[in-house]
Amino acid sequence: MAVSEGLPIGALAGRTGLAVSAIRYYESQGLLKPWRNAGGQRRYQRADIRRLSFIMIAQQFGLSLPDIREVLAGLPNNRTPTPKDWARIGELLRDHLDARIDTLLRLRDNLDGCIGCGCLSLPKCKLYNPDDTAKAKGSGPRYLLGDRPEV
């Protein structure tokens, strides 16, 4: 009775609430690397439960799977991650989250500045170009001026 024969995929699914298909999908995206037993079935370490949990949390924070893969790359691959390792990448997550909150707060400020006037007009309203979306590619200025209700 080896201390760790590893967990089969269904056990991870049960522990995390994820679908088996989702866990296999994450593996296909490089987020997880189980080994195979003699019969070719996937076997996981107990630490992979935590890894999956992290993935679920990070997704709630709006990270894409490639984003998450990068963050997880910050974990050691030669040993089982310690709580300290997890705490470290938890802070990476926090940075992402802070950035998203800042963006939304700025958006809200701009919206507040606009609600009063109802303008939604291009030159005045900052909401249009939060990331300089309209690139004004040489075709001259695009105004919403003149787009006024005729009533």
Handedness of CA 8, 11, 17, 20 (dihedral sign): positive
**Which partner, a second copy, DNA, none, binds residue 128 by CB below 5 to 8 Å per kind?**
a second copy
Closest separation in Å from C-beta 23 to a second copy: 15
Does residue 82 belong to the site contacting a second copy (CB under 8 A)? Answer: yes
Of 87-116, binders to a second copy (CB under 8 A) are: 87, 90-91, 93-94, 97-98, 100-101, 104-105, 107-108, 111-112, 114-116
**Which partner, a second copy, DNA, none, binds residue 13 by CB below 5 to 8 Å per kind?**
DNA
* Residue of 79, 58, 60, 78 lying closest to 69 (CA atoms): 58
Instruction: Give, in order, the Cα–Cα distances in Å from 75 to each of 29, 78, 147.
Output: 17, 9, 54
Binding mask 31-60 for a second copy (x = CB under 8 A): ---------------xx-xx--xx-xx--x
Closest separation in Å from C-beta 93 to DNA: 15
Tokens encoding 14: 């049960």
* Residue of 38, 70, 39 lying closest to 54 (CA atoms): 70
Closest separation in Å from C-beta 108 to a second copy: 5
Footprint on this chain of a second copy (rule: CB under 8 A) = 14-17, 46-47, 49-50, 53-54, 56-57, 60-61, 79-87, 90-91, 93-94, 97-98, 100-101, 104-105, 107-108, 111-112, 114-122, 125, 127-128, 130, 133-135, 139, 142-144, 146-151
